[in-house]
Structure 1
Amino acid sequence: MKKILVLLLVLLVTTGMVFAQGAKEGEKKQLMGVVTPSADHGFTAESIQHSEAQVKALSAEYGFDYRFMTAAESSEQSNAVETILGMNPDVIVLWPVNGDELRSVAQTVMDAGVPLIVYDRFIQGLTPDAEISGDNVAIGEGAGRYFNEYFKEDLAKGQVNYLEFKGDSSSVPMERTNGFLSTASPKFNLVQSFVTNWSQQTAMEQMENFLNTKSKAEIESIKAIWT
């Protein structure tokens, strides 16, 4: 994840250099808009902190303006993008809460001729000017191969039951799940899948509920957790 963040910051540096060249040609400072999810867990919190600090530093160095906005829900993000779009920005960086729910407003940005950079969670059916993400499919594939090796003896005896805990319903967890299913043995049997919204507290409550509502035999049949 840190490598992904570094790539984003490098891209922002490049964008800043372009802004610096453009700012000399006209009186109006060029404007960068950045819209991210709220800091709902450690990775987003750290990413937001570093990216906002970098944008601020680049703004001071290259002389462009910026508007940095966070939102917890897709509808709030959509409003934030529309607000920035009304300011006639020169580029928008969007880290969607849920790509599918941001497709319409993202298309509006592109229709307005504003360069759009989508980070981490992609928007299906949309081809922005740039996309930056880790290889989430490969993450899932690697987990599937690891499970195959770790549970080699169990798989030789038959079915292996497991639970799955997803971060949310965005493209990131779905790509990891699909990658996992592409390499994991078909003898792995998914008993139940949970969506945690990236919350450790929610995941704990879901696990506690599973343990409190299932029989001893059902609980003991679980060999693995994919999260």
Structure 2
Amino acid sequence: MRTRTALLAVLACGALAATSACSVEKQSDGAGSGSAASSENCGSGKDFLIGMSQANNAEPYRQVMNNDIETAAKAVPGFTVEVADAAQDNSKQVADVENFLTQKINLLIISPNEAKPLTAVVKKAYDQGIPVIVLDRKVEGDAYTAFIGGDNVAIGRAAGEFYAKTLLPDGGKVIEIAGLPGATPAAERAQGFREGIKSNPKIEIIASQPADWLRDKGQTVADALLKAHPDVNAIYAHNDPMAEGAYLAAKSAGLETKIKFTGIDALPVPSGGIKAVQEGRLAATFQYATGGREAVDLAKKILVDCSKDVPRSTTLDTMQVTAENAAEAYTKLGGV
């Protein structure tokens, strides 16, 4: 899909809602060949082709990420953004990036399906002198220009602390529905959650199984786990769609009022996690900003402003959303 777009010049952190912030790590002096566009390949008044390699357009979070990129890219003549959907297929995403290289893109934005399988092709683009912005999920090594994403360990830890202090203060049994194996956020959200619940030794994770970020698979996985563990007290899902799927499975089993559900994403859209909290299906969700607007702003700095001083890493903050602040959070995070 090719859309003629232009770029909204927003500050990398200021594009977030007032309740959110970000931290940046500056580019090191030893950056590689794709650290910035060369002077002859950047500047105002030029045409630029940006390839956006998306892991899976079927996930609501990624649909919002794409929308954020396209919405932010509406003010600078000369920008063209082409989005390729890998449909959760590593080999297709590699082929998508190879195709972008054939098209002579000026910059690559990529949200990898999994880290290891995408590392080599990202390095190939970077080594060819193409600036690469890695968005949301990481690759291995450091052959890229910049990474933008949330601190998934911190987000998981915040969820774990919420369980330990608020959701299950007297302890209880928890089922974890994890993201796609091989995707860095899944491992990091699992790690952080375990760190967060350490303060309450009465909380026990009795089962953990991946559902690949998908609502339908989350429902299927939860259905099987609930049959094996009908006495569970809460379900911690690595994203809101899987949490919603787990809720539906529990409802089918007549257990939805006995089990508490939490997710991650907090998308400010009618089908997102914030509304699920407001409507009582989820006890909480934790914001995971898409970084789409920040990626576009960074692309402008590299391609139009010819900046060589770009942040090596931008970490987007999170916020906890419960029934007490859901309405306010929905508005502040841009919901309509």
Q: TM class by shorter-chain length?
A: 0.7 to 0.9
In the TM superposition, what whole-angstrom CA distance separates every residue of 1:109-153 from its partner, at most 9, and x where no partner exists? 111111110000111323421111112111111111111113232
Distance 1:175 1:223 in 2: 23
Show the counterpart of 1:30. Answer: 48
Distance 1:93 1:107 in 2: 13
Distance 1:182 1:127 in 2: 30
Show the counterpart of 1:189. Answer: 204
Distance 1:210 1:69 in 2: 35
Q: TM-score, normalised by structure 2?
A: 0.53
Any stretches of 5+ residues in structure 2 without a counterpart?
Answer: 1-11, 17-36, 238-336
How do 1:85-100 and structure 2 match up within 5 A? 85-100=101-116
8 Å CA contact 2:207, 2:225 repeated in 1: no
Q: Write the letter of the residue equivalent to 1:68.
A: V
How much does 1:190 deviate? 2.1
In the TM superposition, what whole-angstrom CA distance separates every residue of 1:79-99 from its partner, at most 9, and x where no partner exists? 010011112222111111112
Show the counterpart of 2:189. Answer: 176
Distance 2:42 2:122 in 1: 25
Percent identity, aligned pairs only, is 25
Show the counterpart of 2:119. Answer: 103
**Aligned: 1:46 with 2:64:** yes
Q: Write the letter of the residue equivalent to 1:36.
A: Q
Show the counterpart of 2:6. Answer: none
Any stretches of 5+ residues in structure 1 without a counterpart?
Answer: 8-14, 155-159
Distance 2:159 2:186 in 1: 13
8 Å CA contact 2:123, 2:143 repeated in 1: no
Show the counterpart of 2:163. Answer: 147
Distance 1:22 1:104 in 2: 31
Show the counterpart of 2:8. Answer: none
Structure number with greater CO (CA < 8 Å, separation at least 6) is 2
Aligned length: 199
How much does 1:53 deviate? 4.4
How much does 1:23 deviate? 4.8
How much does 1:37 deviate? 2.2
Structure 2 CA distance for partners of 1:23 and 1:85, relative to 1, 3 Å: farther
Distance 1:42 1:189 in 2: 30
How much does 1:168 deviate? 1.5
| Secondary structure, aligned partner of 2:138 | coil
| Secondary structure, aligned partner of 1:205 | helix
Q: TM-score, normalised by structure 1?
A: 0.77
8 Å CA contact 2:137, 2:185 repeated in 1: yes
How much does 1:68 deviate? 2.4
8 Å CA contact 1:116, 1:129 repeated in 2: yes
Q: Write the letter of the residue equivalent to 1:152.
A: P
Show the counterpart of 2:22. Answer: none
Structure 2 CA distance for partners of 1:205 and 1:64, relative to 1, 3 Å: closer
More helix by percentage:
1
Rg (Cα) greater in structure: 1
